[in-house]
Structure 1
Amino acid sequence: METLRYVLLANGLLIVVSVAFYLLLRRETFFNTNRLMLWLGVLSVLVLPALQFPDWRPQRVRSAMQHTARVIAPSVLPRTPVAPPVTITFPNGRSYPVTPARRLARFGWSWQLALIGLYLVGVGSLFIRFLVQLVSIRRLVHRSARQPYDTFTLVTNPVVDAPFSFFRWIVLNPARHTGDELEQILRHERVHVRQRHSLDMLMAEGVCIVFWMNPAAYLFRKLVHQTLEFCADQAVLAEGIDARSYQYNLLKVSLASGTTPIVNSFSTSQLRDRIRMMNRQRSRWFKALNYPVVMVLSLAVVTAFARHKAEQIATQVAEPVARSFVAEPVKSIKIYTNDLPLTTDSVVELNNSEVRQDSLEQSVVAVSIDSSKIARTDSIYHSDSKLVAYKEDVLHWVITPRTTLDEFNGLQRELAKHGCKLQLREIKYNPGYQYIDRIDITVIEPGSGMTAFRDTVNDNGNPIKAIAGHLSVGSRRGHRGIGTVDDYALYFPEELKSLASIDTKSAATFVGSDPESALAATPSKLQGRNLLSTRYDRLYFDNKSTKSSGILVKADKSLVVDNDCRSASIYINNEPVDAEAINLWTVDKLYAVVKRSSYDPVSKHITPVALLLYTTNK
């Protein structure tokens, strides 16, 4: 049913967009804006039918439309045994007649399946035709003479009757045109290339493929072609070309044969409209009011026929209740809660034991739902962030040493849904970006004050402790707190405690094992000295000669200090060692070498001062 609703609504919206554009915008001279509106029209056709909108319809209109849907649906959908229809009455007094969900029937041939098959055959055939057209254009280009220019490639071929462009290619037959004609053709086609009109042509062709059963798709394609030609004609005339000469050449070239629908052709049809539009006065500013009219019409159609949240909730409630009263048809259902109103953003969990039948009205069933059975799955009580967990009316969150900036941004968005602002005043990762070693955060709730957590005195490079926090989002709104996970051990959700424990252990494995951390530090003996520094990474030592680094690789892959650097200080992982200590290391253990040198501006001589070797833990 939902798929059918989307298909019908998308096709109906395409009709509205195409007809509204044809009637209100086609003759306006805001050509670039018209092109944008066509793109927005395609986007709205594909996206808007999948969205849910508030139910603004009056009760009479809503009831009439739902009644119509119940009458039409059985004739469109396959017939299967279902529970009796029910009417849901919410505490706000609104009623929603619904039909419980149907069970899938055994596969059998029907006219519905035949219609789907016909549609798929049409889509497949048009798509194959589209691919053939692309291949034919590519084949023509590769069999022609090509001359590249800055913004386009001129393709000449004697078999081409009518000039056209496709992306950066401008294809024509110079022998069929005079010099004046060629100049105007090139000006026209360069506009198509420069403004990437081929993308619009492909978009229009895609609409015709997907909605090939809808006549509005072909009207839409015609409007796209027409708008692109108007844009190109306007740009050519703006370059100073004589309008009368241009129109005469346009008439002459238009006598050539037609071209492929997916290309921009100088001699395209609709010549009368193009000439009329060139001679038309510029549209007045108030004509721009037609654009919001088209948008409002599209939204009105979508919101009138789209699936609303209340209908979705009613269906979820109706199905279990209808199954409980198979023997006695249920005509109406009234829903009550003991202390929490049932909103259309809540999903109700029912079972047979919670349903009772009123003794006074045999046709009315009253359903009493405990508030604890209402699962809040709307966007306010649901988060995709792994750093967040809801427990009753409290939002719990955590920041671990391994939290990334993207995850932190997700946590900020989650707290912002409840009016809180999480400020990151300082955050510092270790040089290898494996964990956080310093952080300063503040949680601000308007009207309730500020809560802060700082771990800025940690200068030893160790990971921070996992930070935990909570925020009341229900009746106790205004309560919040922040601290370490250990402070919340008794009340913190298990999934967040487990995440904090895993990330803390993971961060600990990187402490002292990151060569980049050692590289970021400098031996105290070398601090404050103005020295030249050159870094040689591990891959450098795969070369035959490594002399410039000061470290040589022997045949057995062991390392040795070059004679020119024997007088330099030697360090391994920032610890001073003798030159002979280098011989104990092999090249596969090497991570990087940093050579520090001093420069004498008088003698212009460079003297090695220190060799710093950094190794891996392999």
Structure 2
Amino acid sequence: MEAVFIYIAKSAVLMLLFYCVYFFLLRRETFFNSNRWFLLSGLIISSILPILSYTKVIWIDVAPNLNSNIQSALLSAPEKQSSDNNWSFIILGLYVIGFLIFLLKLAVDFYSLNSIIKGKKVKQQADFKFIDTEENIAPFSYFEYIVYNSSLYTVTELENIIEHEKVHSDQNHTIDVLISRFFSIIFWFNPIVWLYKKAISQNLEFIADSEASKKLADKKAYQYTLLKITTHENCVAITNHFYQSLIKKRIVMLNKNQSKKRNSWKYYVVIPALAAFVLLFQIEVIAKERPQIVNENESNIKSVDVYKIRKNSTDAELNEIKNNLQKNHNIKFEASDVRRNSSDELTSIVVDVTKGKQRAKSVQSSDKAINEFGVLVITYKNGDKKIGIQTINDSNNKESKVALSKGITSVNVNTDKKNDTNSPSSDSHIIITNNPNSKTDTHVNINSSTSTKTNSNTNTDISTVVTTDSDSKTSTKITIVGEKSNIAFSNSAKKNKAEGSPLVIIDGEEMPANYDLKRIDSKHIEAINVFKGEDAISRYGEKGSNGVIEIELKVGDKHTKY
């Protein structure tokens, strides 16, 4: 409802703009035909321009208490909205009543016109249809029809009248009259539309007077004819009739010298005014919350699916994985460079998985059987999906490598089995080597979490890699899921909180507790070692209870202080 009122208000403003330019600058000029198109374009622009708008998006960082502000606003909204709706319906009801009244008046005028034309003898001459009626009405034209009562005028007067009406008919002035009439019905409440309608009709008479006087030998006789008909009161609406008020102005314009062409600059005054209108009212500014990159946790995840590829996987099984990924997740799966040994075990395979701009790739090639891995699909509660490669560690697998997209060259998951293989306190750490061509920063966050179950319904410890396109604003996550901890690597620039943050060691030097990792440019990093649990405590004592991040800088950057 509010949108309708705004549209009507904007249209009224534009109509007022064109009318003011015409009234103050153009109505005394003899550019009658130009004025005609100027006035018509004003009506068309005033009806179309308010619909057109340009949307400008402004990204904002939302304050922490924004949600509470929104909730309080929503709680107070219903009462105010209910009150506004009551007034809206009242105003709408008044508008509809006025609209129906003027629409009914238009129907009556059409009926009156039809009763005058219908059944009358029509004399065809060129493109005109002449009707000589016996009714006491003023001469008028309606499209190709020209109606008059010849008994009321002399031969000379009738000639002047017919030439005048021919101009109206030949230039289709009836269309202008109908357009202005329809606008006066739609915007009946706006006084400007009635002045605008009058200006259009008056200018049409100026055009007809000017063109008719050029074809007549006696210009003064034409003016006397105008004066004779000023007392005629019987006129048909929605037509161009010879009788019009303001006869004095018509005679003045007939005798006025032609305006100089340099005065045509006045038409262009409306252009900067229209530009100002667009800038002020037609640019819609939308504030959007800047995407917040946060650590992922199980509360946001709906499901985790892993499609395992083992050393003895057959071509049929690979094809089944491909079909399931396409069918269930709309993910494209390609397996190439597939080779097997004499025991029919996979020794070489390249797996390329893509979904939109996301891409994950695994390359394995050696003389021995491949390390088992899986295609990982994380489905979030909001329907989004992320893809990656899951490396599956076992007692025979000391090191697994996964190829990633931009930002990280490789991820090595090293496990030294100091204790029993089933012990959760096994010595393990992760080394991340940055791509020197990447401009993205690598940040490390350590969070407490429980283990994530795969679709195999086991609690197997996994190393998860989730990659996204470098042009995407979403974070790239690498999650190592163990029995008691969750380590996530993200290229977000979110500052670590001092409380519960890991101990940061750069080239052997301990950093302060509130140290901000985003101060480090990833191009200077040679490697990152992450220690967790008992392993971190055994190396650094209680200071390592929240985990330890060891960062080794490149040789040329050893002197750099952070």
TM-score (norm 1): 0.44
TM-score (norm 2): 0.48
Q: Which has the higher strand share?
A: 2
